[in-house]
Amino acid sequence: MEIKNVMIVGAGAMGAGIAQLCAQQGINAVITDISLELAEKGKAGIAKGLTKRVEKGKITEAEKQDVLSRIFTAGDFKPAAEADIVIESVVEDLEIKKKVFVELDKIAPPGVILATNTTSLSISAMAGVTGRPDKVVQMHFFNPPAIMKLVEIMPGKNTSPETLKAAEAFARQLGKDPVVCKNEAPAGIVSRCLGQLLNEATWMVDAGVADPADIDKAMQLGANHPMGPLQLIDFIGLDVHRAKMRTLRTVLDDPRYQHPKLIDKMIEEGRLGRKAGKGFYDYGEGK
């Protein structure tokens, strides 16, 4: 079935980015959050990004308005009743996600797929609080969703083959080139492999091996990475990175995913990365 209406729960960078992606592909997207104000803030962020593209000559003002005309906002889950698919993209906290899925299951029509954009949390745990575990699946988009080509698709223990096929078809409808995991596993493919690399870079900073800029430069020039690991953590958010490491450390019982206390200290100081203006790097005015 071709998807025409999508509801995205969570108006943060990922949720807003997924909404923008859908709208750019001609699909109506509703962004919802715990308040209408937050949802509208998410849409405003999309508008700001599109305005920059207009100023750079990459799109026209008419194209910008066309995209924005397909993005709607809400402060509750009522739009799920009209959605062809719902994508959850809230904070990486399993209990919060489970509460979201309980509410979505009450409102979304029985045949509608409930997808989670989680990086490392249990899909089966989310599916288990619904009456449609066969219709719950992971669709993990990468930041920024409007640009990154990959979508990782992963089943929970009870996800049906039909749901997996539908999720893959939807990813292709969005212009993505998806990969489909055979079984549920913490963090899928990219985040599990990448997690160790990013974590090791933080341990090197903690041990005083080199400055963040030199570690990033070494990986860019020596390993041909487009972005250094510490730059990437700043882009992702130190709090999000730590949440992933904690999940992998616990679920896999693997010390390779233990993060250094440096990360805790930086988070306590509010150094969350780009979104906070400072992380491993300073993103203040002109920097």
Residues 195 and 242 in one domain: yes
Domain assignment of residue 144, yes or no? yes
Containing structural domain, residue 260: 190-275
Residues 211 and 145 in one domain: no
Q: Which residue type sits at 225?
A: H
DSSP 8-class letter at 24: H
Domain assignment of residue 284, yes or no? no
Q: Please report, for the domain that includes residue 51, its CATH number.
A: 3.40.50.720
Higher confidence at residue 1 or residue 78? Answer: 78
Strands (E), 129-242: 136-141, 151-155, 179-180
Pairing of strands 28-32, 71-74: parallel
Domain assignment of residue 281, yes or no? no
**Which of the listed residues 180, 200, 224 is the one where a domain comes to its end?**
180
Residues 108 and 163 in one domain: yes
Domain assignment of residue 221, yes or no? yes
* Number of domains the chain is built from: 2
Q: What was the pLDDT predicted at 2?
A: 86
Pair of tokens at residue 190: 């990219």
Pair of tokens at residue 112: 């509608």
Residues 198 and 172 in one domain: no
CA-nearest of 280, 5, 14 to 148 is 14
Is this structure's pTM higher than 0.75? yes
- 196-237, pLDDT tens digit by residue? 999 999 999 999 999 999 999 999 999 999 999 999 999 989
